[in-house]
Amino acid sequence: MSNSNASNSTDLVNIRDLLPEDIPILPLVIRPIFPNILTPIAFTGEDFLKAIQDAEEHYNGFIGLVFTKNIDDSDYFNSDLYEVGTVVKINKVTSLSQDSVQAIVFGVERFKKKKVVNGNSRICWKVKYNRENDDSSIELKAYMLAIMTSLKEIFEVNPILKEELKLLVSQASYDHPGIFIDFVSSMLKAEAKDLQELLEEFNIVDRSQRLLTMLKNELEISQLQARISKQIEDKVSKQQKEYFLREQLKLIKQELGLEKDEKSAVIDKIMERISHITLSPEAEKVVNEQMEKLSLLDQGSPEYHVARTYIESIVELPWGVFSKDRLDIKKAKTILDRDHYGLEDIKNNILEFVSTVIKTGNVNGSILCLVGPPGVGKTSIGKSIAESLNREFYRFSVGGMIDEAEIKGHRRTYIGAMPGKIIQSLKLVQTSNPVIMIDEIDKIGNSYRGDPASALLEVLDPEQNKDFLDHYLDIRYDLSKILFVTTANQLDTIPRPLLDRMEIIHLSGYILEEKLQIALKYLIPQQLKAHALNNNEISISKNALKFIIDKYAREAGVRTLDKCIRKIMRKVNLKIAEGNKEKVRISEKNIESYLGVPFFITEELYQKESPGVTLGLAWTSMGGATLYIEAVSISNKEGGLKLTGQLGDVMKESAEIAYSYVRSLLSKDKNLPIEIKEYFEKNKIHLHVPEGATPKDGPSAGITMALALYSLALNTPVKKGIAMTGELTLTGKVLPIGGVREKTIAARRVGVKELIFPKDNKKDFDRLPDFLKNGITVNYVDYFTDVLKYALVKK
């Protein structure tokens, strides 16, 4: 090295002569310190401060620094230390406070622990020093040359170390290889454990070899880092280049008049749209204000995109755009007949409604509500109404909807705000007088986010919807020309204010004959087309269809029937795929091989007349149904009534009324023997309604339960083939019930030809179509005693 380094070497010899055998020890936690290097150190803690002061007072400023093998965070002096460290000379204390010290130290020599001795400091060792000579062998010189070559390669790829390494290489010589090697070692970014191993290598040739290996690793890391940096720079440069080129191309096109900037194009597009619609004065004012604002905003501004989206939402609505209604009631009737079999009374109601729309040119605030079981064609009727009037059709469901913003839109202050479903539907259909179907209105929800049913009031109320205010648009829009059609399975769960605004049309369901015609005219042709089959490959007989309807698809609608036909078609396709070339004929005999075991058995469980058993008629959300009621007696001096069959509260009350009434009736009949009059006092009655897993409720089984109890007490069976329905009062009066159509259909389905209805329901039965009434005898009763005349077997 230079002459100054030579003098430093002489100073080192003098310093080494002063090194004590016993020295205080301080633990290092970050990385070891090498000899021949001037290094700043900093410690915090009373023990460290005391050790520095002790070194200056008793050890001529010498102190040993040893790297920790395992750190004790609670007390560094209890840490596990390596046995090789560096003795340093404290050159200058730069900062000293109550519990911290900063100093500059010079590394003098390596040492190895011999043993622990007592001293003034917490840790004091007797050590052995490594006295290196500066004789340079040919091998060592070769290593020195290789180290300097590696250093040059490193600073070519690592600009951070470039200046330091360049200065080191320029001053390097072969006279003091140990100093040079320690200096290079102190600059390495290697792991602390690897640096400790380098410090512990006392043989200078072996140390040079180890250092050269570590430099090669450092070079590989630097080269890899340089490659990664270059790839990132190249990618960024390419993106920047493409961006500048696109901007230049855009400016060139604008100068040549070939293209407008994005902002101008957006504004021109909006203005063109405005020219094709007739905005309301309020909307026109808002659009003009927003357009002025849009022209002043920068494209990169978030507010620009908010304003643009808002204006586009306004101008994309069909302001003043109306589809022309078809003024042909015959065409409307043809469409309804084409799409739906039967439902003559429903069709007549719809045709009356459509003719009024045609005559007046507006819907007069009418909202239709189609109520009926699933699968009876409510949604398809809505489509047919739209086609009859030549209007666009849009359907959405509110089942389970709990957020009123779905109807009336979100405030524009929210992120991701958008208009409600009504405004969205108008944007899609592009006409201001479509037919909008709101499905599942009986299943609308309610939550802390608001009440969607209340939000629908403004939409459906003819006095309000001409000035409908969507929260997002914040501009009034006229909905009065829209024909709203809603659907529901039942009326009970529809909010009363909403129900009051609608005209109810009941779709009760289909009997077997209607289902048969629907299958022949609609379902089978549709499924043949959907499964790519034709009449030469498959045929389904009428008897097979009747069997399917009766044994597999008894519900009010035709959805299950459609599924059965679809299942048959798939199995036929499988046969064809397996090589079957003969026409597949589906008959009553082989239907089970396609659909499995029938779902339903006959509802006539009792093939013979039995006391205490009656057949009732019930209404459910799935349509009409028949249900048996059974009563048996158990000898018991205390009497009493037991009810089973998962009955609701109203039905339990009906049973108790029937029990009290029949007991009273028997006790007052002077013509009866005493054992019958006292029958209920000596017997406990068990009343059961089969299919116990199915919940049942309602008052209309009153006379049915009373008849079962009366029949049991007199030991007289009820006539076979008769079914009944009616609410019973405590005085024996029979009150009218609902669901006459559905209950009549249920009776026809199981082949019951004689019915008992309350007297006040005669007008309801008379309004039924002839094909439902034909072949059925109805007995009308005013009191329960009238029921006894028709129902009991005469002895």
CA 193 from centre of chain: 52
Tokens of 593: 């091989």
Query: What does DSSP say about strands 468-469 and 584-586: parallel, antiparallel, or unpaired?
Result: unpaired
Choose among 217, 220, 196, 198: nearest CA to 207.
Answer: 198
| 700 is known as an active-site residue | yes
CA 581 from centre of chain: 47
Distance separating alpha carbons of residues 378 and 390, to the nearest angstrom: 19
| 546 is known as an active-site residue | no
**From its phi and psi, is residue 58 left (phi > 0), alpha (psi between -120 and 50) or beta?**
alpha
DSSP-H helix ranges across 174-276: 177-187, 192-199, 204-256, 262-274
Exactly one of 150, 425, 700, 711 is catalytic; name it: 700
Distance separating alpha carbons of residues 255 and 195, to the nearest angstrom: 65
Query: Which run of H or E residues covers position 608?
Result: none
Residue 124's beta-bridge partner residues?
24
Choose among 65, 185, 73, 46: nearest CA to 127.
Answer: 65
Tokens of 485: 């059609």
Exactly one of 378, 515, 696, 743 is catalytic; name it: 743
Contact partners, residue 396, CB within 8 Å, separation at least 6? 421, 425, 436, 437, 438, 439
DSSP-H helix ranges across 158-203: 162-171, 177-187, 192-199
The answer to whether the beta carbons of residues 452 and 444 sit under 8 Å apart is: yes
Distance separating alpha carbons of residues 510 and 375, to the nearest angstrom: 10
Distance separating alpha carbons of residues 503 and 320, to the nearest angstrom: 28
Phi, psi at 607, each rounded to 5°: -85, -10
Query: What does DSSP say about strands 683-688 and 538-540: parallel, antiparallel, or unpaired?
Result: unpaired
Contact partners, residue 753, CB within 8 Å, separation at least 6? 721, 747, 775, 776, 777
DSSP structural state of residue 720: T
Distance separating alpha carbons of residues 676 and 657, to the nearest angstrom: 19
Scanning the structure block, which residue is given the tokens 């909807």? 401
Chain length of the chain: 795
Distance separating alpha carbons of residues 511 and 555, to the nearest angstrom: 9
Torsion angle, CA of 612/613/617/619, rounded to 10 degrees?
80
3-class SS at 735? strand
Distance separating alpha carbons of residues 225 and 227, to the nearest angstrom: 5
Catalytically annotated residues: 700, 743
